[in-house]
């Protein structure tokens, strides 16, 4: 949760930052994601576009964040009608 608080402070100050990581869970904290394989850009866009492309991400060895994967799996069973990127929002949707 500390990262969320830090991100909000940075947004309030209108500061952009770049987070270079191989941890796909960290991608949830960004707005725009670029995925590289070796030295080639493979996928680029806002987090909704990139993280919904689960097959390509898994093929590259990244997978998708747990909350995204769970909501995609629940969509297959018509339990959810959209992909969630926040655990609290996912839980609220499941309880409603």
Cα–Cα distance between 84 and 58 in angstroms, integer? 18
61: left (phi over 0), alpha (psi -120 to 50) or beta: left
DSSP state of 81: S
d(CA 78, CA 94): 12
Q: What is the pTM of this model?
A: 0.75
* Rounded Cα gap, residues 14 and 44, in angstroms: 22
Query: Is residue 7's pLDDT more than 70?
Result: no
Tell me the pLDDT tens digit for each residue of 22-39.
Answer: 888 888 888 888 888 888
Q: What are the helix and strand counts (H, E) for the chain?
A: 5, 2
Cα separation, 9 vs 57, in Å, equals: 30
């Amino acid at each position: 949760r500390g990262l969320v608080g830090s991100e909000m402070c940075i947004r309030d100050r209108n500061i952009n930052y770049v987070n270079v990581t191989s941890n796909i869970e960290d991608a949830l904290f960004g707005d725009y994601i670029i995925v590289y394989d070796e030295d080639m850009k493979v996928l680029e866009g806002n987090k909704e576009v990139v993280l919904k492309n689960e097959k390509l991400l898994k093929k590259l060895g990244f997978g998708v964040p747990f909350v995204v994967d769970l909501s995609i799996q629940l969509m297959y069973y018509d339990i959810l009608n959209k992909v969630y990127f926040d655990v609290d929002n996912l839980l609220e949707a499941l309880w409603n």
